[in-house]
Amino acid sequence: MRSNNTGGCLTAFVSFFSRLALLMFYFSRPVAWNATFSSWLLPCLGFVFLPFTTMVYAWLMQPPGVGAIQGLDWLWLGLALLSDLASIASAGYANRNMMPGQGTPTPPPAK
């Protein structure tokens, strides 16, 4: 049986890309980032768990004078959340055989 390990590499790339994009957004617009988040805790948690959602939230809060999410902004935020959750789920699915007692059960030997 042939093993296909490309799912793990793709998951790692997507996870790395989202965090890299979040850092680039933070370093390119620190004033806007500080105006969006009042403390450092929420962006750090977003970096670890939901990087695309954090980046899209900070991006959507940027229009001057608005400062709130409204209308189609909820669609973009929902798509970012779906993307983060899909990334987490695919990482779990790709690594399902790494835990003892998990994965595809082997059939009993034929007699």
- DSSP secondary structure letters along the chain: -----HHHHHHHHHHHHHHHHHHHHHHH-HHHHHHH-SSSHHHHHHHHH-HHHHHHHHHHT-STTT-S--TTHHHHHHHHHHHHHHHHHHHHHHTGGGSTT-SSPPPPPP-
What is the predicted pLDDT for the residue at 86?
Answer: 87
Would you say residue 92 has pLDDT above 80? no
Separation CA 81–CA 63 (nearest Å): 21
Amino acid at 43: P
Q: What is the pLDDT of residues 23-34, one digit of tens each?
A: 998 999 888 888
> Alpha carbon of 89 to those of 11, 50, 82: distances in Å?
10, 12, 10
The pLDDT value given to residue 109: 72
Residue boundaries of the structural domains of the chain: 30-94
- Per-residue pLDDT tens over the stretch 36-54: 888 889 999 999 999 999 9
Predicted TM-score (pTM) of the model is 0.72
51, 43 contact by CB (below 8 A): no
In the chain, % of residues over pLDDT 90: 26
Least confident of 16-25, 41-50, 79-88, 94-103: 94-103
Report pLDDT for 1: 45
**Residue at token pair 């899209």:** 56
